[in-house]
Amino acid sequence: MPERTLDAVYSLAALQKGDRTEFARLVDAYSAPIYRLALKIVGTPQDAEDVLQETFIKAYRNLSTFEGRSSFSTWLYRIASNEAFMSLRRRKPEAVSVDAEIETPDGEQEPVQIVDWCCLPEEELLTTESREYLDVAIDRLPATLRVVFLLRDIEGLSVRETAEALRISEAAVKTRLLRARLQLRERLSQYYGERIKEAA
Amino acid sequence: MTHTHANTECRKLLASLSEYVDGALDESICDVIEQHMGECERCEIVVDTLRKTVELYRSLAPAPPVPDDVRARLFARLELADLLKDIS
Ligand SMILES: [Zn+2]
């Protein structure tokens, strides 16, 4: 993960002393993943751009209180997901909050799609069309599951870092991650199952 | 093995699937899961396709660069516009 190496590169002391060049380098290194995350949570480029700007404005203002207990990336993802959810709530007030209680006692949804599509060749799994499908499948996840999946499986944070970024328990991260992955597996199985049928 | 029993085993496995594909479970638990997968084709397919799902998403390229205009407005908003050229 590039974040790990990047983290070591920035001088917290320089940043906290107000070194503009150091801050500009930090902004430059993290703006791509933060923008992608924002876009996948809020859904529109305009809102994502606002989230991106607010994230770094808040980061700049709060640098003095950053103690380095979490990595820069986790800290930035935390600010960004918070901003993104605030934006989402303004646009869609019915959208649930990031720490909403979604755990149900019934356990997980039984898998429905049982088709082994792993055998499909890599070039078939990753055509331009399938990449678009993978992307849309994420958008269809409920926001609370989506953000966990994005941080863990797209941005590559650990379970602990994801929990820190979202201020939820590690157990909640695991539950939501499982649900997100199971829902994606259903959609992908449906999609690739049809590719197999077409090929047959 | 009765159907009900098999179903209970399958449900139990479902709860630990995500951690199983992440390699985050103890060896003893993995053994139980792998034994069940050997007897239950359905669960084997679910595990394999879940693992593949995660792999596919992880194989996607790193985040594409922020569009130039978005980047320029970001640097301007942060009063860093003078550094825009030196940084990239
Ligand atoms: Zn089973």
pLDDT digits (tens, 9 = 90+) for A136-177: 999 999 999 999 999 999 999 999 999 999 999 999 999 999
Residue A105 scores a pLDDT above 80: no
Ligand 1 centroid, distance to B9 Cα (angstroms): 6
Contact present, A18 and A60 (Cβ < 8 Å): no
Position B8 scores a pLDDT of 84
- Shortest CB distance from A116 goes to which of B48, B56, B57? B48
Residues B73 and A53: beta-carbon distance below 8 Å: yes
Candidates B14, B49, B65; nearest CB to A32: B65
Long-range CB pairs of A54-60 (<8 Å, 24+ gap) are A54/A83, A55/A79, A55/A80, A55/A83, A56/A27, A56/A31, A56/B74, A56/B78, A57/B77, A57/B78, A58/A83, A59/A26, A60/A23, A60/B78
Min Cα distance A197 → chain B (Å) is: 17
Query: Are A54 and A90 contacting, i.e. CB atoms less than 8 angstroms apart?
Result: no
pLDDT band at B85; cut points 50, 70, 90: confident
A14-64 pLDDT per residue, tens: 888 989 999 999 999 999 999 999 999 999 999 999 999 999 999 999 998
How far does the centroid of ligand 1 lie from the alpha carbon of residue A105, in Å? 21
Please answer yes or no on whether A27 and B18 come within 8 Å at the CB atom.
Answer: no
Please report the domains of chain A, with CATH numbers, ordered by start residue.
3-91 (1.10.1740.10), 122-199 (1.10.10.10)
Residues of chain A with Cβ-Cβ distance to B88 below 8 Å are 28
pLDDT-derived band of residue B9, with 50, 70 and 90 as boundaries?
confident
Residue position matching structure tokens 């997901």: A81
The residue to which tokens 């630990």 are assigned: B16
Report the pLDDT value the prediction gives residue A96, as an integer from 0 to 100: 58
Lowest mean pLDDT among A20-29, A92-101, B2-11, B56-65: A92-101
How many other C-beta atoms lie within 10 A of the C-beta of residue A19? 15
At A85, is the secondary structure helix, strand, or coil?
helix
Q: What is the mean pLDDT of residues A6-14?
A: 72
Mean pLDDT confidence for A187-200: 91
Contacts A–B by Cβ distance under 8 A? 122
Contacts of A30 (CB under 8 A, 6+ apart): A6, A72, A73, A76
What pLDDT is stored for residue A106 in this prediction? 53
Chain A interface, mutation test: which of B9, B58, B66, B69, most A Cβ atoms within 10 Å?
B66
A93 φ, ψ (degrees, to nearest 5): -60, -20
pLDDT at A108: 72
Residue A68 pLDDT: 81
**Separation CA A19–CA B63 (nearest Å):** 26
8 Å CB contact between A110 and A89 = no
Which residue in A187, A97, A185, A174 sits closest to A143, CA to CA? A97
CA A198–ligand 1 middle distance (angstroms): 28
Interface probe, candidates A20, A149, A181, chain B, greatest B C-beta count within 10 A: A181
Contacts B45 to A, Cβ<8 Å: 114-116
| Residues in chain B within 8 Å Cβ distance of A2 | 62
Query: What would the mean pLDDT of B55-59 be, rounded to a whole number?
Result: 94
Residues contacting A31, CB < 8 A, separation 6+: A52, A56, B66, B71, B74
| Amino acid A5: pLDDT | 47
Which candidate in A178, A184, A192 is best for mutational testing of the B interface (most B CBs within 10 A)? A178
The verdict on a CB contact (< 8 Å) between A49 and B73 is yes
pLDDT tens per residue across span A69-82: 888 899 999 999 99
Q: What is the predicted pLDDT for the residue at A186? A: 97
* Residue showing tokens 């703006």: A31
Q: What is the ipTM of this complex?
A: 0.90
How many whole angstroms from its chain centre is CA A193?
27
pLDDT above 80: residue B6 = no
Neighbours of A128 (CB within 10 A): 7
Could you give the CA distance from residue A130 to residue A121 in angstroms, rounded to a whole number?
Answer: 13
Intra-chain end-to-end CA distance of chain A, in Å = 39
**How far does the centroid of ligand 1 lie from the alpha carbon of residue B8, in Å?**
8
Query: Is the pLDDT reported for residue A6 higher than 60?
Result: no
